[in-house]
Amino acid sequence: MEISIATDYAENSGCCEPFLRKIAQAGFTHIHWCHHWNGDFLYSRSEIDEIAKWLREYGLKLLDLHGSQGFEKNWSSLGEYERLAGVELVRNRIDMTARLGGDAVVMHATHWMVNEQKDSLGDDQLRKSLDALEPFARSRNVRIAIENLVPARTDLFLALFDQYSPDFLCFCYDSGHQNISSDNPNSLELFKDRLGAVHLHDNDGASDQHNLIFNGSIDWDQIAVLMADSAYSKCINMELRWDNSVYADETEFLDKALESGIRFAQKLYAYVKELPTQDGTK
């Protein structure tokens, strides 16, 4: 069964080769590239070529990639030079995704502001960046998937999905973020028709813990039902943290992670089979 895990389960910078090797040895088939997801790091051609070589060596495929809304290169910054640098950073990740065989770059479509006027200005800057990135992304058959955060900014997502078509802009569902945002609408239910990427992990509803699936308070049957009736067509991806787990051994952690992923995938595919066909049968 095809199952994906984010590469930053232990570290999110430095050489990823040892983690790719262990991911493959555990039995995963795909990865979600999550290194350098929260900084200004630009991948060079030589680095991307080396990553491609590792993926071939270990028999892994890139499912999709977590792009970066950098600290200085920020695609929704009110500073125009910072916004333009942010567009360059996202373009770097789109190109990397295409060269490694993935189909989506997950992005945080928000900005850390509390003033409503600044929020509105930041949203305008984000749209300018999306407009600039759309032809580049389309030329490489890579979509941008915006991720639900805390707070979810449902109003912004509704506006963006109304403005941009699903073959360019889709939705990334983060189950952990949803579970600590109980005051917000269920974003998976709202945007299941735009679902193009997933960050699946569990928590106790109090903080973003990135636990293994079925190790928290999330209703995984509900998620399986919604995903089964969504636009999502890829294998599941888990965004986990080894240091938050009960497992001292890395190999055991990865083994348990794969077990939980397979268990959820089986649940999901069971619901897919129960969905009625166009003629009303099952």
Q: Which CATH number characterizes residue 203's domain?
A: 3.20.20.150
Burial (CB < 10 A; 0-12, 13-18, 19+), residue 71, is exposed
| 25 assigned to some structural domain | yes
- The number of distinct structural domains making up the chain is 1
| 279 assigned to some structural domain | no
Q: Spell out a b/e string for 8-34, using b for 16 or more CB atoms within 10 Å of the CB, else e.
A: bbbebeeebeebbebbbebebbbbbbb
Q: What is the pLDDT at residue 39?
A: 95
Q: What is the pLDDT at residue 274?
A: 81
Residue with tokens 């066909």: 277
What is the distance between the alpha carbons of residues 267 and 172, in angstroms, rounded to a whole number? 20
∠ CA 183-5-191 to the nearest 5 degrees?
35
| 148 assigned to some structural domain | yes
| Alpha-carbon dihedral sign for residues 69, 91, 171, 5 | negative
Q: Which parts of the chain register pLDDT below 70?
A: 110-119, 182-183, 277-282
What is the distance between the alpha carbons of residues 58 and 18, in angstroms, rounded to a whole number? 11
Which helix (H) or strand (E) segment holds residue 133: the answer is helix 116-139
| 281 assigned to some structural domain | no
| 245 assigned to some structural domain | yes
The range of the structural domain enclosing residue 55 comes to 4-274
| 282 assigned to some structural domain | no
Instruction: Give me the half-sphere count of Cα atoms (radius 13 Å) on the Cβ side of residue 254.
Output: 23
Determine contact, residues 68/103, Cβ cutoff 8 Å. no
What is the distance between the alpha carbons of residues 105 and 276, in angstroms, rounded to a whole number? 31
